Amino acid sequence: MTNQLNDIPLTEHFRLREFECRCCHRVRLSPKLLFCLEAFRTLWGKPVILSSGYRCEAHNRAVGGSPRSLHMTGQAADILVSFAEQPAAELLAAKAGFSGVLSYGRRNFMHLSVG
Ligand SMILES: [Zn+2]
Ligand SMILES: [Zn+2]
């Protein structure tokens, strides 16, 4: 058994650790975001890799996030999706219940958020 901080299963496919701030390992997570991600994972049928979950204010600034970014409230996550797969993923993300879906094209990721 691992003793790593936040390495706790939350759903069948996600662990708390995946949502940690990349700089300080603190974490905030909206249950709604988790619920939508798990729904998306089921529809998508493939692993979903988070490139960004919760961000503290300093980290959000460092990565050039919006000053009101929902990453700072645990209501947004970025996932790796290839440019070619983004149109299909957008449809499923809307179906999964996300209120915000933003594709970053050739940067190969998408921003998903809940209100
Ligand atoms: Zn941080
Ligand atoms: Zn984002």
Instruction: Map residue 22 onto helix, strand or coil.
Output: coil
CA of 58 to the centre of ligand 2 (A): 15
Q: What are the structure tokens assigned to 64, written together?
A: 């050039």
Range of the structural domain that residue 109 is part of? 16-113
Is there a domain that residue 38 lies in? yes
CA of 48 to the centre of ligand 1 (A): 22
Q: Are 57 and 72 in contact (CB under 8 A)?
A: yes
85 pLDDT higher than 80: yes
Is there a domain that residue 61 lies in? yes
Element (H, E) at 88: helix 86-96
Q: Grade residue 3 by pLDDT with cuts at 50, 70 and 90.
A: confident
Is there a domain that residue 102 lies in? yes
Is there a domain that residue 8 lies in? no
Assign residue 61 the CATH number of its domain: 3.30.1380.10
Is there a domain that residue 4 lies in? no
Work out how many domains the chain is built from and give that number: 1
Is there a domain that residue 5 lies in? no
Taking the C-alpha atoms of residue 63 and residue 37, their distance in angstroms, rounded to an integer, is 23
Element (H, E) at 80: strand 76-80
CA of 32 to the centre of ligand 2 (A): 16
Mean pLDDT score, 3-12:
94
33 pLDDT higher than 90: yes
